[in-house]
Amino acid sequence: VTTLEPLSFVTFVDRHRSALLKFAMVLTGDYRNSEDTVADVLGHAFEQWDRIAGVESPLAYVRKMITNQYLSTQRRNALWLRRRAQLASHDSSPDPSGDVDRREAMIEQLAQLPPRQRAVVVMRYYLDLSDVEIADHLGCRPATVRSHAAKALAALRVELANADQHHETGRR
Amino acid sequence: MATDQDIRDALNLLAERAPKTCPVPGDGSLGIARPVASRRPWGLIVAAAAIVLLVAGIVTYAVGGHSGSGNGPAAHSKGSRLTCASTPEQDTAADHDALGNRLAELGGTDIRITAMGAKIQADVRGLSSDLVQRVCATGRLDLRGVVAPPVPVSCRPQVGSPCSATSVPDAAKAGGFTVPVDDTGYQRLTSAQQDLITAALADFDCSTAAAGNQIVASYLVACVTGSAGPTGSNAVLLGPAIVGPTQIDKAIAVPPDAQQGMTEWAVAITLSDGGTARWARYTTAHHTGGDSNVAGVDQCGATGTPCADYVGVTVDGRVISVPVNIEAITGGTTQIAGNFTEVSAKALAASIQSGPLPVPLRAATMQSLP
């Protein structure tokens, strides 16, 4: 006998836990912080699950909750995290291939970005969202998203031509 | 100078370092909120790779699903030209937008729809032909309460001896009752009257089952194929649609999830506010009270599980599954299993998403484009 069931909280968590943790990790850049953020957000989501199960995309909704949680806690932790990133940058060991070093260097640079800029970068390059989708996610205008992205890319010293090209051809 | 690829690489490296699991409130029993930090279930690590693949698929849908790539084995660069014909012949222009939306929803590119009187032609790239040829289905999904237990169909239509000699309404007329539209109405009938319905169902011709948009009746006789019995089909009497196309806001195909005991593809539908309210009313009134260990619908009524606890999921007038309601469903999302393959689940989800075709079509020809 097959059964008819709502998208239960347990099913949602089992199905999306891994993606949510990865998203939180990429967003916060910190193992413990991502674990705590996802646990906190899932706790809130559990309390209002009846409503969330009915929204168009529960996954997008919960990701939005994670982003908000990150942005609000990051404001408080910004100074400490930036300092810690500087401390951490001293004890990385060299990598013979150079690839990992390159990625590590980028991870460190990403850690220096202000939280909203980082959120935009993560949504654009990790989730592959369009500027309009990112604007909806962050509750701001697409022009603001583009401005955050431009500042972030400048700070990361990413070749703008290359980045722009991606963005025009990337998605619908 | 760095490139945007460096950003992607760095973010993906970070993602690989994500915790594999985290404490979450609730477990199989739900309803009991637990302290957030009380549990660290590490058991999922082994399956992490599988989950990554699965989640990647879901994310593609959740963020739009139009990228064309990453949509699984259906992606090909070659083009297809599908021609569908209306039955009975009528102007197909009204189907133009819905067909285009379906192909776009499935991830097709270079879509061109041309309405040519009674026929309509769809050119598309990037989709497999078995996916494309399903887009002409009307795509009408209804959820209807079961009125009476399904009956094995014994009639085999032959030239000169058609089935449905006595239809359900004919049987009702003969027995002096109106066709019941819910299981309490059916229970009120005398056993002789119930036998008349059973006989009419056994004589039902499944090949003539109502299809497409003609399904407007307050009740529906539909066939469940692949069941036991002389013809492999059961006929079942269903009540009025609890939820129909106008109450469905969104539909997505959901991949199997072995962890959840979901071995096949499913289609998840999100209901509109009105649909959610109707569905909540029905499932609140008719459910097994949490018991998932109940007999199949064939035994409904007789075994103590009322027929109304079962819901017939019909697509274009055919029953794709008859699940049982376990509990009241007050959220707007419901997952439907129905022996789906990846192709059939995606095609159905895209069809529901675009809304049923105003003019019923059948796929006529299919050719590949260079």
Flag if B18 and A22 touch (Cβ within 8 Å). yes
User: CA–CA separation, B88 vs B147, rounded Å?
Assistant: 31
Measured between CB atoms, does B210 come within 8 Å of chain A?
no
Residue B286: pLDDT band (50, 70, 90) is very high
pLDDT single digits (tens) B36-57: 222 223 222 223 333 333 333 3
Taking residues B8-15, report their average pLDDT.
Answer: 90
Element (H, E) at A149: helix A142-155
In the chain, the amino acid numbered A53 is A
pTM higher than the cut 0.80: no
Distance from CA of A88 to the nearest CA of B (A): 15
- How many A/B residue pairs have CB atoms within 8 Å? 212
Using CB atoms, pick whichever of B24, B59, B330 lies closest to residue A19: B59
Residue A119 has pLDDT above 90, yes or no: yes
* pLDDT at residue A172, as a whole number: 38
Q: Percent of chain A at pLDDT above 90? A: 27
* Chain B, window 61-80: residues with a beta carbon less than 8 angstroms from a chain A beta carbon: 62-64, 66-67
* Mean pLDDT on B205-209: 70
CA B185 to chain centre: 27
Instruction: For residue A122, list chain B residues with Cβ-Cβ distance below 8 A.
Output: 11
Which chain B residues have a beta carbon less than 8 Å from that of A56? 249-250, 270
Q: What stretch of H or E contains B139?
A: none
Neighbours of A161 (CB within 10 A): 9
What confidence tens digit (pLDDT) does each residue in B321-370 have? 888 888 888 877 888 877 889 999 999 999 998 888 888 888 888 888 88
Give the pair of three-digit tokens for residue B182: 């819910």
- Average confidence (pLDDT) over B24-47: 31
Please report residues of A whose CB lies closer than 8 A to that of B268.
Answer: 7
More confident residue, B207 or B113: B113
Q: Is residue A87's pLDDT more than 60?
A: no
Q: Among A155-159, B85-89, B245-249, B353-357, whose mean pLDDT is lowest?
A: A155-159
- The average pLDDT across B93-112 equals 89
Task: Yes or no: say if A135 and B42 are a contact pair by the CB < 8 Å rule.
Answer: no
Say whether pLDDT at B241 is over 60.
Answer: yes
Confidence of residue A102 (pLDDT cuts 50, 70, 90): confident
Instruction: Give the residue, B143 or B88, on which the prediction is more confident.
Output: B143
Residue among B22, B242, B264 with most chain A CBs within 10 A, to mutate: B22
How many beta carbons lie within 10 A of that of residue A18, not counting itself? 24
- Both tokens of residue A13? 């968590």
> What gap in Å lies between CA A8 and CA B111, rounded to an integer?
37
| Token pair in block for residue B191 | 């056993």
**pLDDT level of residue B317 (50, 70, 90 thresholds):** confident
Q: Which residue of B has its CA nearest to A170?
A: B67
Mean pLDDT value of segment A79-96: 53
Residue B362 contacts residue B136 (beta carbons within 8 Å)? yes
Task: Please give the Cα distance from A105 to B304 (Å, whole number).
Answer: 67
The pLDDT mean for chain B works out to 77
Looking at residue A79, what is its pLDDT?
59
When computed from its CA atoms, the radius of gyration of chain A, rounded to whole angstroms, is 18
Residue in A31, B295, A68 with CA at minimum distance from that of residue B309:
B295
Contact B57, B51 (CB under 8 A): no
Q: Which of A106-110, B166-170, B233-237, B283-287 has the lowest mean pLDDT?
A: B166-170
Taking an 8 Å cut-off on Cβ atoms, the answer to whether A57 and B321 are in contact is: no
- Rounded Cα gap, residues B309 and B241, in angstroms: 14
Q: Is the minimum CB–CB distance between A59 and chain B shorter than 8 Å?
A: yes
**What is the pLDDT, as a whole number, of residue B311?**
93
* Nearest CB neighbour to A7, from listed B9, B323, B335: B335
Give the confidence band of B77 by pLDDT, cuts at 50, 70, 90. Answer: low
Q: What is the mean pLDDT of residues B123-130?
A: 90
Query: How does the average pLDDT of chain A come out, rounded?
Result: 78
What are the residues facing B145 on neighbouring strands?
B311
Tell me if chain A has a CB within 8 Å of the CB of B284: no
- Minimum-distance CB partner of A107 among B10, B296, B331: B10
Q: Is A146 exposed, middle or buried (0-12, 13-18, 19+ CB in 10 A)?
A: middle
The residue ranking higher by pLDDT, A109 or B262, is A109
Nearest CA in chain A to B109: A172
For residue A31, the model assigns a pLDDT of: 86
For residue B36, the model assigns a pLDDT of 28
- Is residue B119 classed exposed, middle or buried when 0-12, 13-18 and 19+ CB atoms within 10 A define those classes? middle
Q: Cβ(B132)–Cβ(B104) under 8 Å?
A: no
* Angle formed at CA B353 by CA A59 and CA B338, multiple of 5 degrees: 85
Instruction: Name the residue of chain A whose CA is nearest to B251's CA.
Output: A56
Tell me whether A50 touches chain B (CB under 8 Å). yes
